[in-house]
Amino acid sequence: MTHLNFIPVYSIFKILSTSLGPKGLDKVIVNIEESTLFTQNENYNQNFDINDLIITNDGATIMKNLPIKHPLGIILKQLSNSIDVQVGDGTTSGVILACKLLEESEKLLIKNYHPNLIIKSYQIAYDQCKKILNLNCIELNIPSIFIYNEKEFNNAENNDIKILKQIISTSLSSKILSNYIEQFTKFCFQAVSYIQDPSSTLIFNNIQNNIKYNKILGNNIASTKLIRGIIIKLRLDNINIMELNNSSFNSNNSVNNNFKTMLINFDIGFIDENTLKLIKYNNLNFNKIEMIENEKKQLEIKQATDFISNLKNQNKEDEPIIIFSSKRISLSCLKLFKDNNIKIIYNLSDEEILNIQKVTFSPIVINTITSTIHSSYFGTCKINQTIEKQSEFYLEILNDQSNVCTFLLKAPSVFIIEEIQRSLNDSISILSLIIENKKIISGGGSNELQLSSGLEKFIKSNEFNQLVVDESKQDIFKIMNCIKSFARALQIIPILLINNAGFDSLVLFEHLKIIHKEQISKDYNYTSINLNSGKISNMLELGVIESLKGKETILKMIIDTVSMIIKIDQMIK
């Protein structure tokens, strides 16, 4: 029986293996085809584009940017992307485990084990892994609707909140934010609380759509902030309008009173021929260009005046109004809005308008300016204008009821900013999965040791014998060997974690295997190596914790990916 060449798989394993864990090393990824970094030109430094260079130890980022062309590598790249999208963390360990399982599978294929038998055995192993994980998991008493409470967060009298804080603190301590743990742990709690829909207990699915990032190069990491709403960068024309048109806006970052908001998707002050015919201005003389222009200008002003009048009629509370438009506003109409103390931001992108809609709950008005305005067209928000580096103006659009939040990331380097975003995304993903499912397991390689030890015991148990009672003796022997291979593959995670921390894995790993094999008490199931001290420790006490659902999802995706690959016996070009 023929099978594929797994050399590309081993190459990916070699690249990722040194990046696993909190002590993992960084990779520098350069786009050689587009970058000038390796050019023979002596002045290459002047032409170097910073976007061609990536420095990271994040598995998802490494896999995404690797120039992979081999089909097996592309499949593993898709696995990495799936883990990143569905779980948010654990990409490096997931791909490494898949590579190791493929290595073990190749050994079985060389011995003429049929792929279908291997796949069947791996499925048995996966089912048993789920049982072991559920047996050793801990369920937290967390409310389904998670609400951030400043007092509860600071005092942490609730033991479960303490555990959650420790989980995020441990996650951040292994990343670039290790010196800002308290600040960014608080940000993670706030973000999860903000993005959760009160009508649903699901949080994880909202991360991608409801958490936004604005990046400012300069200042320090501690200047990063989180708001409940969105931040838009003002263009030069809007900056001037805001300064002229809004005496209540100022640069001292103070939040103003509530604004009524309206989102429009039509021009104001730009009249086309169809509009002229619709409104039927019979006194227009089309033979005289000057008269036409004057009439059009008067018509523009009349339209804007009618629009402003309609706005004021519906604004019975006399609250300040701000309009966000994705279209143009003529200069003459801008002056009218200014005179009537109506703030307006125009020429916004479609994405910005949609994000503002999520915050203000305003419908987007797409009909013409002559239509009647209803009170239902209005939303609400708070506005805060900030100035960065004396040249960049940002508008914060805030709403305490919004499910959208925005991080304003600041750091002295582009690479640091990108790493901060990845760190926050990983930590928020972990927190949201745990709050959703409430069940946690120990991390740091301890659960892989649990599973490996549990599978070795399983193949000697009566449960296994009953499961394979209808199989031939030869197939039973092969299934046992396949499950042993699965158990050996799991051991690669704690081995690499120990190696990457600079300790001797040969001695420490064997010691851990004995502890998990003997299982003197349930607490020993949670033991692994403290990667800071090199001592055997309880991972739950250290806060090295994973989501049960996340682990099950990753294992299932690994099994499916490996099963698909080992069933391929020929590649046709």
500 phi and psi angles, rounded to 5 deg: -70, -20
d(CA 326, CA 91) in angstroms, rounded, equals 39
Query: pLDDT per residue over 149-177, tens digit each?
Result: 777 677 766 678 888 888 888 778 766 78
Task: Out of 10-24, 161-175, 409-423, pick the least confident.
Answer: 161-175
Confidence of residue 39 (pLDDT cuts 50, 70, 90): very low
Mean pLDDT value across residues 1-8: 72
Q: Range(s) for CATH 3.30.260.10 in the chain?
A: 150-228+408-437
| Class in CATH terms, 230-401 | alpha beta
Between 339 and 371, the higher pLDDT residue: 339
Confidence of residue 268 (pLDDT cuts 50, 70, 90): confident
Q: Is 40 exposed, middle or buried (0-12, 13-18, 19+ CB in 10 A)?
A: exposed
pTM: 0.80
Mean pLDDT value across residues 450-463: 93
Looking only at the bridges linking them, the beta strands covering 536-538 and 527-529 are: antiparallel
Mean pLDDT value across residues 191-215: 81
pLDDT at 520: 64
Confidence of residue 239 (pLDDT cuts 50, 70, 90): low
Please state at what angle helix 548-566 crosses helix 414-437, rounded to 10 degrees. Answer: 110
DSSP string, 316-375: TT---EEEEESS-B-HHHHHHHHHTTEEEE-S--HHHHHHHHHHH-PPEE-S-TTSPP-G
Q: Range(s) for CATH 1.10.560.10 in the chain?
A: 7-140+440-566
Question: What percent of the chain has a predicted confidence (pLDDT) above 70?
Answer: 83
Q: Range(s) for CATH 3.50.7.10 in the chain?
A: 230-401
Q: Whose structure tokens read 């796949």?
A: 119
Q: Which CATH number fits domain 7-140+440-566: 3.90.1150.10, 1.10.560.10, 3.30.160.20, 1.10.10.10?
A: 1.10.560.10
Are the beta carbons of 544 and 497 closer than 8 angstroms?
no
- Cα–Cα separations (whole angstroms), residue 264 to 102, 300, 342, 402: 55, 17, 14, 20
d(CA 359, CA 229) in angstroms, rounded, equals 6
Between 392 and 64, the higher pLDDT residue: 64
Other Cβ atoms within 10 Å of 408 Cβ, number: 19
Mean pLDDT value across residues 181-185: 90
Tell me the one-letter amino acid at 474: Q
pLDDT at 371: 61
Confidence of residue 370 (pLDDT cuts 50, 70, 90): low
Confidence of residue 14 (pLDDT cuts 50, 70, 90): very high
pLDDT at 200: 67
Between 178 and 135, the higher pLDDT residue: 135
Residue 254 predicted with pLDDT over 50: no
Q: Is 344 exposed, middle or buried (0-12, 13-18, 19+ CB in 10 A)?
A: buried
Task: Out of 83-97, 109-123, 328-342, 445-459, pick the least confident.
Answer: 328-342
- Cα–Cα separations (whole angstroms), residue 274 to 228, 270, 297: 42, 12, 16
Q: Name residues whose C-beta falls within 8 Å of residue 222's C-beta, 6 or more positions apart in sequence.
A: 180, 183
DSSP tag of 443 = -
Residue 274 predicted with pLDDT over 60: no
Residue 37 predicted with pLDDT over 50: no
- pLDDT mean across residues, the chain: 82
Task: Out of 117-131, 202-216, 235-249, 354-368, pick the least confident.
Answer: 235-249
Q: Name residues whose C-beta falls within 8 Å of residue 396's C-beta, 6 or more positions apart in sequence.
A: 227, 229, 230, 231, 383, 384, 385, 386
Confidence of residue 287 (pLDDT cuts 50, 70, 90): low
DSSP tag of 70 = S
Query: pLDDT per residue over 493-552, tens digit each?
Result: 999 999 999 998 888 998 898 888 877 666 788 899 998 888 999 998 888 888 898 899
pLDDT at 75: 94
pLDDT at 255: 47
- Of 265-274, 289-298, 539-548, the range with the highest mean pLDDT is 539-548
d(CA 74, CA 82) in angstroms, rounded, equals 12
Question: What percent of the chain has a predicted confidence (pLDDT) above 90?
Answer: 33
Query: pLDDT per residue over 74-96, tens digit each?
Result: 999 999 999 988 887 889 999 99
CATH number of 150-228+408-437: 3.30.260.10
Between 295 and 235, the higher pLDDT residue: 235
